[in-house]
C-alpha cells in the first residue's frame, strides 16, 4: 500500500499509524495539483492494483453561488476534479497491467444532481456550489471512464463516504470506519463486476 501526501512528514505519520495496526504501507510525496509530482510518485511505484482518488478540498465556506469567487471555484476543481483526472491518467498504465485494476473515486452525495434538486433534502439547502459542482464532475468522469474501459480488466466506481467526522468535514455524523466501509469493500472484493456505479454503504446513490 502507498499513501500519497503533499506533506511527506504527515504522510509518514499516517503510515506509522497504519503499521501500528499491522498494515504495511509506504509514504509517497504527491501533490495532485502538480503534474511533475504525480509523475514522480508513479515512478516510485512498481505495480498497482487499486487507485483510490481521495484528495479533496472545499473552500466555499457556505458562500452563495452569486457571491462565490471564481478563484474559490477553481481551487475546488483543481484538487477535486482536474487533479483526480491527472492522477488517473498517469497511473492508468499500472492499473491496466494488473490482473484486475480498480479505480475508486471518492465523490459525495452533495454532488448528486437528483438530491440537490430535491427541495426536501439538506443537500438542496447546502451552499457549496463550487465543491458540489466539482463532485458532480467527478461523477461524470467516473461514468465516461468506466465506459471507455469496458471490456478491459479495470473497473471504475465512485463512492459517497457520507459526512465523516474528520478535520475536513468537521463534526460529521459518521465515523471514519463507517465512512471508508464501501471503499474498502470495493477495493478488497475477491472479484468485482461493478463499474460505472455511484454507491455508499446503503447502496446506490442517485446521480
* Residue 169 CB neighbours (<10 A): 17
Q: 186 pLDDT band (50/70/90 cuts)?
A: very high
pLDDT per position as a tens digit, 61-73: 999 999 999 999 9
Given a cut of 80, whether residue 166 has pLDDT beyond it is no
pLDDT at 175: 81
- The per-residue b/e assignment along 25-45, b for 16 or more CB within 10 angstroms, e otherwise, is bebbbbbbeeeebbeebbeee
Strand partners, 105: 53, 158
- The CATH number for 169's domain is 3.40.50.720
Given a cut of 90, whether residue 178 has pLDDT beyond it is no
pLDDT average, residue stretch 132-157: 98
Given a cut of 70, whether residue 164 has pLDDT beyond it is no
The pTM for the full model equals 0.93
Residue 110 belongs to some domain of the structure:
yes
Given a cut of 60, whether residue 169 has pLDDT beyond it is no
Residue 55 belongs to some domain of the structure:
yes
Residue 30 belongs to some domain of the structure:
no
Q: Is 81 a catalytic residue?
A: no
- Mean pLDDT over the full length of the chain: 93
Most confident of the following: 1-5, 78-82, 167-171: 78-82
pLDDT per position as a tens digit, 100-132: 999 999 999 999 999 999 999 999 999 999 999
Half-sphere exposure (CA, 13 Å, Cβ side) for 44? 15
Residue 106 belongs to some domain of the structure:
yes
The one catalytic residue in 77, 131, 141, 198 is 131
pLDDT at 147: 98
* Residue 153 CB neighbours (<10 A): 13
> How many domains does the chain contain in total?
1
Residue 94 belongs to some domain of the structure:
yes
The CA angle 175-21-108, to the nearest 5 degrees, is 30
Residue 58 belongs to some domain of the structure:
yes
Given a cut of 60, whether residue 165 has pLDDT beyond it is no
Residue 101 belongs to some domain of the structure:
yes
Distance, in Å, from the CA atom of 28 to the CA atom of 7, rounded to the nearest integer, reads 9
Amino acid at each position: 500500500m502507498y499513501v500519497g501526501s503533499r506533506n511527506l512528514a504527515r504522510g509518514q505519520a499516517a503510515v506509522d499509524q497504519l503499521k501500528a495496526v499491522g498494515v504495511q504501507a509506504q509514504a509517497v510525496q504527491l501533490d495532485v495539483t502538480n503534474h511533475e509530482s504525480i509523475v514522480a510518485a508513479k515512478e516510485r511505484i512498481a505495480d498497482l492494483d487499486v487507485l483510490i482518488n481521495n484528495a479533496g478540498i472545499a473552500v466555499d465556506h457556505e458562500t452563495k453561488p452569486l457571491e462565490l469567487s471564481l478563484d474559490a471555484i477553481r481551487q475546488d476543481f483543481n484538487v477535486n476534479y482536474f487533479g483526480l483526472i491527472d492522477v488517473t491518467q498517469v497511473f492508468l498504465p499500472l492499473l491496466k497491467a494488473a490482473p484486475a485494476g480498480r479505480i475508486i473515486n471518492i465523490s459525495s452525495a452533495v454532488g448528486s444532481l437528483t438530491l440537490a434538486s430535491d427541495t426536501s433534502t439538506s443537500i438542496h439547502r447546502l451552499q457549496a456550489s463550487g465543491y458540489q459542482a466539482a463532485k458532480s464532475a467527478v461523477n461524470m468522469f467516473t461514468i465516461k471512464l468506466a465506459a471507455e474501459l469496458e471490456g478491459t480488466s479495470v473497473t471504475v466506481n465512485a463512492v459517497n463516504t457520507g459526512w465523516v467526522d474528520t478535520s475536513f468535514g468537521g463534526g460529521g455524523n459518521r465515523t471514519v470506519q463507517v465512512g471508508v466501509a464501501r471503499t474498502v469493500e470495493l477495493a478488497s472484493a475477491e472479484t468485482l463486476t461493478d463499474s460505472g456505479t455511484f454507491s455508499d454503504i446503503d447502496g446506490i446513490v442517485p446521480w
